[in-house]
Structure 1
């Protein structure tokens, strides 16, 4: 088998450009984050998560492939930051926009009882639920007050050995 060593060093001549592009894009992202805030990288909603993935993808493509080039990549990333910022403001000011864009969190367990219909609706298996309970160090189902599939896809497990009630504020907006 003949190995073509040129394949392994292909593009090495572009190292200076890649290095400068990486530094430039990095500075641009830091600047945009200062302007638009850290929420730009949050996973608070599915939209925020999508924005973070898109920015990361553009960052990598602009540096590694130069398609789009660093300047165009920086511009597109800026547009994504701006779009995320505008959507955040619209969500903040309008309940209708918030409900149209965001998924609602949904209960998977309540007071030690597994809500099988909600598991089925969310396509979460009991094995996955058990895994999340173990991750949260839940020892008894009777100690689990609530398990919630959040809008980000994260699973929150609220448990205690004490017989505490969950305040309504904490479960506000959660579908049961």
Structure 2
């Protein structure tokens, strides 16, 4: 039976171990490099990701990739996603999840937030332009989300405090930007 699948039980086990290892390494690297690693990608970044995907695929699938090995690797990766989701909902969630990082409060750029997020000021300005910001006076808050996206909230209506409960340094948000309690 194994001959018809193109993979031996030992090779299947190595595919599972490799997929687990690559998933763990990717997770740790993204955590180590921060949310910025997912924020905005240049054309070169995208090309590198495609190349890395090819290399990682070979690492996971081994020297003789087969359909069976590919299915085992995919099932392992999806299993790891499911496990990560479960752990995020339990006690492990504090480490697995990232908190949003405050980058700007009003017109003030928060240098420590940029440093923590590993974002250069020029990258921040790019995100502001992409959000249609023409003047710093339009800005209420700029937040780097756990997904790597940058949220730009404009001045106008006061912001609900509940929307900001998970943000680091939320005490630095000027009271006039917030809805009264």
Normalized against structure 2, the TM-score is what? 0.57
Q: 1:127 to 1:73 in 2, by over 3 A?
A: same
After TM superposition, give the deviation of residue 155 of structure 1 in Å: 1.2
User: Who is 2:165 aligned against?
Assistant: 172
- The 8 Å contact of residues 58 and 73 in structure 1, kept in 2 or not, is answered as no
Deviations 1:119-140 (A, max 9, x none): 1222211111111000000122
Deviations 1:117-168 (A, max 9, x none): 21122221111111100000012212211111111222111114x2x22111
After TM superposition, give the deviation of residue 67 of structure 1 in Å: 4.0
Name the structure, 1 or 2, with higher relative contact order (CA <8 Å, separation 6+).
Answer: 2
Q: Runs (4+) of structure 1 moved beyond 6 Å?
A: none
Gaps of 5+ in 1: 1-45
Normalized against structure 1, the TM-score is what? 0.58
User: Who is 1:86 aligned against?
Assistant: 83
Of 58, 66, 70, which aligns to 2:67? Answer: 70
What does residue range 22-171 of structure 1 map to in structure 2 within 5 Å? 67-92=64-89, 94=90, 96-160=91-155, 162=156, 164-171=157-164
After TM superposition, give the deviation of residue 70 of structure 1 in Å: 1.6
- Find the structure with the greater CA-based Rg: 1
Q: 1:57 to 1:89 in 2, by over 3 A?
A: farther
